[in-house]
Chains A and B, each alone.
Chain A
């Protein structure tokens, strides 16, 4: 169903972090951007669709105007808004937002770091754009920061802080079907596996809380009103977002899941875990009849590698890319 294509070489290896691969497709310029985090550096590769041109850039996590030690990055993700695309980088020190090609930093938000180290780590993790003008970023305290992003310029402001989670945020996702018919358009997940479902707006509204079973939800997606959640137990669960009804449970992997992704036009789901496997599934969701089905399609094994990132390269799921801990390449697969 899929076969391996030529890998993209990286300047350094991928770190073991959840959701450690982000992809942005720029159709007008026939380019695709990839970002992979290595410790305190974001590796960016821009590839032309004809496969002939590659260019690399590295962004370091450093707060501007302060000379201290560099800090470790937890996640780098592209946020595609109707008016602009931004690259958001979340680290131990704060949140940086860049133009999507990494050329200019347009915004910096420092996390409140206490003077003396506390018992709990402080960091930002979990990044998603939602509706037309918001970017949400999670924090280790469980808070979710909501930033209001104007259509251009650097006048980005912190609009709201959502304080519903008590444990560190792991991942955040927005409704990606493209349809406006779904009430809920944001889901946030934490270290305890708890999921919060929201409706965005000037004031975000909490629609539902789905309790976790003390098992980390490391990666989450929202499609056609259904939450897809990947857990440390290797399970994937499908919940109806607004009601919390469990539709399906898959014993998908033998180790901790690190990444889930959806191809919204075709309903393909990608799951990747520390067990070296990437699996492709097919989702059929008919909200009207409340029917949700998931079928397994394909496996790929990346030998001797704990996978940390897997993303489709396009909305149909024609191709996907994979990163692994200690691996200095982005492996690509294409439908046969």
Chain B
């Protein structure tokens, strides 16, 4: 299907990651300095030229496993370390928020406005770091350049590709349930009222014409919903009023339980299909773009358990095995392409090193923070 999905996937999923990280770091009373560093590092890596250039190449959208692997690496590009349970939960939240935005996007083209809301927020997080701010602006310019050329039909194809990727995921998210945008079944609420999208007429009118094009008849029918006229189109420029609120930060409130999730049975974001060769190549290229060297190895890293452990989840026997599986699978795959295989082996090696680090947190600073986490 569409070969233009990846940049929007990462901007929006990454954007949601920033909102969640920001909210969780505040909820855990992390110092301002550390929070700022974490967010700057993640934004810097996400919007690095090489990474974005790789994403902007026309290519297919691959599996959740690939996306999750790259996003995990993204989250770890900073001094923060997330345990596997946190990463799983973070990914679920990101996916559900993105699904909500894609589904409710009034017009397919509004996916861009949603992405721009995320870009605007990323800018705000790094406003005190000119170098990173510049990267975000550069990325925004490239996105405008590439996507302004797409027709509405191509945007709908892009949206349909994303919807297929997001199909069958119905994780319940507490902030969505609370704001009544999600039902207890896990499905999102679709209103049959409110303003129609820009360029669409309020339903209810039938007009008939004569062969010369003059209107000769007009009648109305009950549309079943209560619609009002469009509120106008948001700005597609580098800055401006986006009008659309989708893509803005839903986690502004301080309360920690906003980000609780519970999976509906049968949800499996890590299907165990073998990764296609093309997919492995993409993974290797993307990982290669995110240099491990940006943060000095000796820098004190602090470990976070982003989400309070849910006793319900502890009982589900499947969870730990899945978390281990994501790393094991990368090792096991039979790959014909030697380059991809060695790149992946290197990447997998990095993860196992980091796993080992988690067992032995270094430095007193790390210990203090850990103690703090345990108290929560």
Answer whether A304 and B152 are a contact pair too, CB < 8 Å, given A118-B58, A251-B202, A254-B223.
Answer: no
Contact between B190 and A305 (Cβ–Cβ < 8 Å)?
yes
From A12, A250, A252, A304, B189 is in contact (CB under 8 Å) with A304
Answer whether A253 and B167 are a contact pair too, CB < 8 Å, given A191-B151, A192-B151, A275-B225.
Answer: no
Answer whether A256 and B164 are a contact pair too, CB < 8 Å, given A233-B199, A301-B224.
Answer: no
A326 within 8 A of B: yes
- Contact flags (1/0) for A50-85 with B, using CB distance below 8 Å? 000000000000000000110010100000000000
Contact between A234 and B201 (Cβ–Cβ < 8 Å)?
yes
CB distance from A32 to the nearest CB of B (A): 26
**Across the two chains, which residue of chain A brings its CB closest to B188?**
A304
Stretch at the interface among A150-158, A241-249, A259-267: A241-249
In the complex, which residues of chain B have a beta carbon less than 8 angstroms from the beta carbon of A306?
A: 103, 190
Interface size on A, residues (CB 8 A): 62
In the complex, which residues of chain A have a beta carbon less than 8 angstroms from the beta carbon of B1?
A: 72, 74, 92, 121, 123
Contact between A296 and B206 (Cβ–Cβ < 8 Å)?
yes
Quick one: which of B182-222 are within 8 Å of A by CB? 183, 187-190, 192, 196-197, 199-209, 211, 213, 219, 221-222
> Which of B167, B197, B204, B278 has the most chain A CB within a 10 Å cutoff?
B167
Distance of A91 Cα from B170 Cα, bound (Å): 27
Distance of A118 Cα from B60 Cα, bound (Å): 11
B73 within 8 A of A: no
Distance of A249 Cα from B213 Cα, bound (Å): 11
**Across the two chains, which residue of chain A brings its CB closest to B62?**
A69
B153 within 8 A of A: yes
Contact between B156 and A234 (Cβ–Cβ < 8 Å)?
no
Contact between A247 and B208 (Cβ–Cβ < 8 Å)?
yes
Contact between B222 and A299 (Cβ–Cβ < 8 Å)?
yes
B76 within 8 A of A: no
In the complex, which residues of chain B have a beta carbon less than 8 angstroms from the beta carbon of A218?
A: 156
Contact between A290 and B211 (Cβ–Cβ < 8 Å)?
yes
Contact between A251 and B152 (Cβ–Cβ < 8 Å)?
no
In the complex, which residues of chain B have a beta carbon less than 8 angstroms from the beta carbon of A232?
A: 107-108, 152-153, 156
Answer whether A296 and B200 are a contact pair too, CB < 8 Å, given A16-B164, A216-B153, A304-B187.
Answer: no
From A121, A246, A256, B3 is in contact (CB under 8 Å) with A121
Contact between B213 and A276 (Cβ–Cβ < 8 Å)?
no
Contact between A254 and B163 (Cβ–Cβ < 8 Å)?
no
CB distance from A35 to the nearest CB of B (A): 17
**Across the two chains, which residue of chain B brings its CB closest to A16?**
B163
**Across the two chains, which residue of chain B brings its CB closest to A299?**
B224
**Across the two chains, which residue of chain B brings its CB closest to A275?**
B192
Q: Binding site of A, secondary structure by majority: helix, strand, loop or mixed?
A: loop
A143 within 8 A of B: no
From B57, B108, B161, B225, A277 is in contact (CB under 8 Å) with B225
Contact between B163 and A304 (Cβ–Cβ < 8 Å)?
no
B88 within 8 A of A: no
A167 within 8 A of B: yes
In the complex, which residues of chain A have a beta carbon less than 8 angstroms from the beta carbon of B221?
A: 296
Answer whether A234 and B164 are a contact pair too, CB < 8 Å, given A246-B213, A247-B209, A256-B156.
Answer: no
CB distance from A261 to the nearest CB of B (A): 18
Contact between B205 and A326 (Cβ–Cβ < 8 Å)?
no
Answer whether A168 and B278 are a contact pair too, CB < 8 Å, given A16-B164, A253-B203.
Answer: no
- Contact flags (1/0) for B273-285 with A, using CB distance below 8 Å? 0001111000000
Distance of A17 Cα from B219 Cα, bound (Å): 31
Distance of A121 Cα from B60 Cα, bound (Å): 9
Contact between B276 and A255 (Cβ–Cβ < 8 Å)?
no
B174 within 8 A of A: no
- Contact flags (1/0) for B140-172 with A, using CB distance below 8 Å? 000000000001111011011101100110100
Beyond A254-B196, A299-B222, 18 additional contacts (C-beta under 8 Å) are A92-B1, A119-B58, A123-B1, A191-B153, A216-B153, A232-B107, A234-B200, A245-B209, A245-B211, A247-B208, A251-B204, A254-B225, A254-B227, A255-B106, A275-B192, A306-B103, A325-B103, A325-B163
Chain A contacts to B: CB under 8 angstroms = 12-13, 15-17, 38-39, 68-69, 72, 74, 92, 117-121, 123, 167-168, 170, 190-192, 214-216, 218, 232-235, 243, 245-256, 275-277, 290, 292-296, 299, 301, 303-306, 325-326
21 A–B pairs (Cβ distance < 8 Å), ordered by A: A15-B160, A15-B163, A16-B159, A69-B276, A120-B3, A167-B153, A168-B153, A215-B199, A232-B108, A253-B203, A254-B197, A256-B107, A276-B192, A290-B211, A292-B208, A296-B206, A299-B223, A301-B192, A301-B224, A304-B183, A325-B163
Chain B contacts to A: CB under 8 angstroms = 1-3, 57-60, 103, 106-108, 151-154, 156-157, 159-161, 163-164, 167-168, 170, 183, 187-190, 192, 196-197, 199-209, 211, 213, 219, 221-225, 227, 276-279
